[in-house]
Amino acid sequence: MHAFFEDYLERLTKLHQGIIEAIKELPPEAFEWVPLDHPSAEMNSINILVTHLAGAERYWIGDMALGDPSGRVRDEEFLVEGLAVESLIEKINSLTEYAQTALEKIDINKLDERRHTHDDQTFSRGWSLLHALEHTALHLGHIQITRQLWEERK
């Protein structure tokens, strides 16, 4: 694997470990809890955040950077309920494994190759990889804040 992809995988794995660390000791009811349950707040439960970031990461690395269709249905990610911590951790571990396999198949010399999204936007393979990393980091922060608010609620 090219050194760039090794570094990328190390950063992504660190984010995945942060997600697992943030959720592993929460009680089941914490995964459905929304800090501000109001339509204009646009906040999501930990179940939704993990499911969405998993779908998005798989899409940007697999579909867009590698050319491996996932069949992702984004809207369904925001409807998920009732997942246990074990299921969420398995999602994250599967992402790490998928990313490693995918990155081994991507040619470093083709990162500037353009790809079309499902809604006909165009991005390079490299941009897609960077966006996956950025998006996962953003939602890790959301998960960490949600956990903090859960622990401080009363």
pTM listed for this prediction: 0.93
Tell me the three state secondary structure of residue 48.
helix
Whether residue 102 contacts residue 62, with contact meaning beta carbons closer than 8 Å, is answered with yes
Whether residue 50 contacts residue 23, with contact meaning beta carbons closer than 8 Å, is answered with yes
List pLDDT tens digits, range 10-19.
Answer: 999 999 999 9
CA 84 and chain centroid, separation = 17
Domain CATH code at residue 80: 1.20.120.450
- How much is the mean pLDDT over the chain? 94
Q: How many domains does the chain have?
A: 1
Instruction: Please report, in tens digits, the pLDDT of each residue of the chain (154 residues total).
Output: 899 999 999 999 999 999 999 999 999 999 999 988 656 668 899 999 999 999 999 999 999 999 999 999 999 999 999 999 999 999 999 999 999 999 999 999 999 999 999 888 999 999 999 999 999 999 999 999 999 999 998 6
Structural tokens at position 136: 């996962």
> What domain range is 123 assigned to?
3-152
Classify the C-alpha dihedral 68-60-140-79 as positive or negative. Answer: negative
